[in-house]
Chains A and B, each alone.
Chain A
Amino acid sequence: MEVVFETENMGQTEKLGQSLGKTLLEGDFLALTGDLGAGKTAFTKGIAKGLGIEDDVTSPTFTIINEYTGPVPLAHMDVYRLNNLQELENIGFDDYLDGYVVVMEWADKVKELLPDDVLWIDFKVLDDFHREIRFLSDSPYYDSKLRELSI
């Protein structure tokens, strides 16, 4: 199932994330792709809000993994700086797959190590403010979450 949204500003992108975040559970995996500045981090801020996390979400580009605790814990990852798959294993990637919602930026770089069923979300810059956000699900599980999405 494919669902496409067009957001008019950063606030809407965040809101869309929040709408998805409300439906997520531990063990869910969001694989984000798309250009720099296309809204991946803003979207993840929304996810965190939707999960009931109060901490402010910041970019994991330098830390690679940021963990947030809350009613449903979140692991926000950015694998852009990783050189190979071993590095992802070395930082204990597998240990996050059960007990967290994982949001991974640049997930297409490490496809081989992702769980079988993930929700792909692609971000595209349309102009200074507008973004196209494309959700791609391969399973009834994520399909049902996509049906509840709104801005």
Chain B
Amino acid sequence: MTNVLALDSSSIVTTVAVLNEEKLLAEYIENNKQSHSEKMMVIIKQMLEDLELTVQDLDVIAVAKGPGSFTGIRIGMACAQGLAHALNKPMIGVNTLDGLAYNLMGNNDLICPVINAQRQELYTSLYCSNDAALERMWDYKLIKVDALVRELLNLNHKILILGDGVPIVKKALAEVPAENIVIASSVFAMPRASSIAAVALEEYAKGNAQDCFSIKPFYIRKSNAEEKRDGDHGAKS
């Protein structure tokens, strides 16, 4: 049996779970205000105590590696890397968008997780559920909300959206009729460590674990796009 400890602090949500091949043993989700740095380790400790497990019972440490809040991602990565290093356990970094899509796994509709990237922009991708597996159809990308709405409308297929970018999409949708875009229930719409753990368990079974030194956060930088644009104008030295 493989016990996965998963954590996600890439948004305002702080969430921790322990999962193995048989079942989800425990999950904690707090969706209130940003306070990961104070709470993450305390929650992990409490959860393991409640489960009557010790850290030695954990086999894999999984973490949501981004995209999302730069500070939040780093807090999660640091917690997970610290644990993995001290316990000498393997790690799996799960893309936050993959984790969100997993919340709606098994659905016949397309799944479009959206994460608020500020300035009317979103981190997003698009997924479909095939034979109990998620297939990603787009690259992970940073996109203006208007452009995303246009792309989704053009798909002519029912699409479920979820994530903390939903209010931004909702606002953009107020101006265009979009019957094919449906907002997921708020209960499923936020990051869940159980989903991060489930994706991680699959990756672990495929032999895709990393060590705490090689794992990297996944940022999508706005400044890279800007730099490129400057480069096109030959402005940047």
Contact = CB atoms under 8 A, between A and B. Distances in A.
A136 interface: no
Interface string A97-117: 111000000000000110110
A92 B118 CA distance: 12
Nearest to B75: A92
A113 B223 contact: yes
Interface residues of B, number: 17
B226 A92 contact: no
A112 B120 contact: no
Given A92-B70, A92-B71, A112 B223 contact: yes
B231 to A, nearest CB: 13
A85 B119 contact: no
A85 B118 contact: no
Interface in B164-182: none
B116 to A, nearest CB: 8
A95 B72 contact: yes
A115 B222 contact: no
Given A95-B72, A112-B226, A89 B219 contact: yes
Contact of A89 (B34, B70, B72, B120): B70
Contacts of A116: 119-120
Contacts of A94: 69-70, 117-118
Interface string B112-125: 00000111100000
Given A84-B223, A85-B227, A113-B223, A90 B70 contact: yes
A41 B70 CA distance: 27
Interface string B223-234: 110110000000
B221 interface: yes
A84 B227 CA distance: 9
Given A85-B227, A113-B226, A95 B71 contact: yes
B119 A115 contact: yes
Contacts of A86: 221, 223-224
A95 B69 contact: yes
A57 interface: no
B195 to A, nearest CB: 23
Contact of B223 (A89, A92, A95, A99): A89
Contacts of B226: 85, 112-113
A92 to B, nearest CB: 4
A88 B223 contact: yes
A89 to B, nearest CB: 5
A64 B101 CA distance: 37
Q: Which 7 A-B pairs have the closest CB atoms?
A: A85-B223, A92-B71, A112-B226, A92-B70, A94-B118, A95-B71, A97-B118
28 contacts: A84-B223, A84-B227, A85-B222, A85-B227, A86-B223, A86-B224, A88-B223, A89-B70, A89-B219, A89-B221, A89-B223, A90-B70, A91-B70, A92-B69, A92-B71, A94-B118, A95-B69, A95-B70, A95-B71, A95-B72, A97-B118, A98-B118, A112-B222, A113-B222, A113-B226, A115-B118, A116-B119, A116-B120
